[in-house]
A = this chain, B = another copy of it.
Amino acid sequence: MKAVVYQGPFNVTVEEVEDPRIEEPLDAIIRITTSNICGSDLHPYEGRAELEAGMVIGHENMGIVEEVGPAVNRIKVGDRVSVPFNIACGTCRNCNEGFTSACLRANPTGTPGAGYGYPNMGGYWGGQAELLRVPWADFNLLKLPEGKEHESDFTLLSDIFPTGYHGSELAGVSPGHSVVVFGAGPVGQMAAYSSLIRGASQVFVVDKEPDRLALAERLGAKAINFASEDPTEVVMEATGGLGADCGIEAVGYQAHDATGQEHPEMVLDKLIEAVRATGHIGVVGVYMPEDPGAATELAKHGRVAFDYGTAFTKGISIAGGQCPVKKYNRYLRDLIIAGRAEPSLIVSHEVGLDEAPDAYEKFDKRVDGYTKVLLHP
C-alpha cells in the first residue's frame, strides 16, 4: 500500500510499504478514507520529538472496515468508523475507568498509553496510508452513519475535537461560565468551540496570528491578540475584575512570545493571572518530560518554572493530559449528526495522500493558510 513515511526532520515521503494484516484475533484492518495531519505531527517533523526513520505516521484516522479478526464480534466488515488516536485494550483498570489514554497493556514499553505512529507509544504504524491495523477493534472503533456525509466533521473525532473538548472538561466549563483559551491552533479552536457547546457565556481566544483569531471569531469566540492587548486586562474587564471561571492551555511547551522566543512557563503564568480565584485550568497543549531541544536547562528536563505560588494562593486547580477519546467521541458524533456541531469549520485544506510532503512543509511554515489538513488516500 501507499503510506506517508517519516524519514527524519523535515522529511516525510510517500512510499509503497507492506500491507498491514490481522495479527491478533481482535484486530481489524481499516481502509482509510481520511487521515489528518495533526499539530503534534510537527513535533517529530521539526526534530523536537523522537521518531524513527521508516515509521508510517498519522494518528487521526477514519475509514471503512476491510477485514476483522476471528474474535471481533461487534464491528463488521463495511462499517464506517472513526479510529481514536489512543490504542486501548479495553480490559485493564485504566480502560475500565474510561482512561483509554493511559491503557496499561497496549504499550509494550510498559508506559501507560499507546497510539499510532510513535515508537514510544507502542510502535503501531500510523494511518496516513491506505490501510491501518487497529488492535482490540470492538473496543476502540466508533461506528459512524453509512455513506459519505459529514466526512470532514467526523474525521475530527479521532483527536482534535475530543481533545479540545477534553480541555473544556478539565477546565470544568459549565453553562454561564466565562472561559479563556490560550492558543488558536486547531486544538484551541476546538476547545473554544466545545466551551460554547457546553453553554459558556463568553469564550476568549488568545493568539497573535490574525487569521487564527478571525477563525475563532467565526466559531463564536472573542479574539484577543496578545501582540497588541494584555489578555488579563481584557478578561478582567469582561468579568467584573474577577477573572475567567475557566482557562484552557492549548499551546504547550513550545510557547513563544510575540518576538518568537520560547518560554515554556509563559502560558501557564498568563492563565493563572487571568483565571479567577477558585477557577480551573485544563491543559491540552503538550508538555514533555524530556525536551533536548528546549531553550533552558530546566525545560530540557520537563521543568516548567511557572508561578505556582499564585496558583495555590488563588486556589486554582490544574488538570491536564492526553485526551481519552472514547469518553467523548460518541456524544460529539451525535452532535454532528444532529447538525448541532460542525467542527469542519476549521479545516483549511483537503488533499490526496501524495501531496502529504508538500502539506507537511506548508503546515509547518504556516503558509498559504495551512491550518488543518485532511489527507484522502
Contact = CB atoms under 8 A, between A and B. Distances in A.
A102 B322 CA distance: 29
A198 interface: yes
A317 B315 contact: no
Contact of A89 (B74, B278, B326): B74
A317 B172 CA distance: 13
B331 A321 contact: no
Nearest to A315: B321
A226 interface: no
Given A277-B113, A320-B315, A321-B315, A309 B334 contact: no
Interface stretch (A3-11, A92-100, A206-214): A92-100
Interface in A167-201: 170, 174-178, 194, 197-199, 201
Q: Is the interface of A mostly helix, strand, loop or mixed?
A: loop
Contacts of A66: none
Interface in A327-346: 330-335, 337-338, 340
A71 to B, nearest CB: 3
Contacts of A302: 307-310
Given A301-B307, A311-B320, A317-B319, A330 B93 contact: yes
Contacts of A277: 94, 99, 102, 112-113
A331 B93 contact: no
Given A71-B25, A306-B303, A201 B337 contact: yes
A311 B308 CA distance: 14
Given A175-B331, A335-B176, A338-B202, A287 B309 contact: yes
A322 B322 CA distance: 28
Interface in A70-85: 70-71, 73-74
Contacts of A337: 201
B320 A317 contact: yes
A179 to B, nearest CB: 12
B112 A201 contact: no
A102 B312 contact: no
A290 interface: yes
Contacts of A74: 89, 91-92, 105
A317 B249 CA distance: 14
- State the copy count for this chain: 4
A318 interface: yes
B334 A312 contact: no
Given A175-B197, A331-B175, A335-B176, A289 B307 contact: yes
Contacts of A321: 278, 312-317
Interface in A142-187: 165, 170, 174-178
A199 B338 CA distance: 11
Contacts of A311: 287, 320
A108 B239 CA distance: 20
B201 A340 contact: yes
Interface string A120-149: 000000000000000000110000000000
A17 interface: no
B176 A334 contact: yes
B90 A139 contact: yes
A74 to B, nearest CB: 5
29 contacts: A70-B70, A73-B89, A74-B89, A74-B91, A74-B105, A90-B138, A94-B277, A97-B98, A97-B278, A99-B277, A102-B277, A112-B277, A170-B317, A175-B197, A175-B335, A178-B334, A198-B198, A201-B331, A288-B312, A288-B313, A291-B309, A302-B307, A303-B306, A304-B306, A311-B320, A312-B321, A315-B322, A317-B319, A317-B321
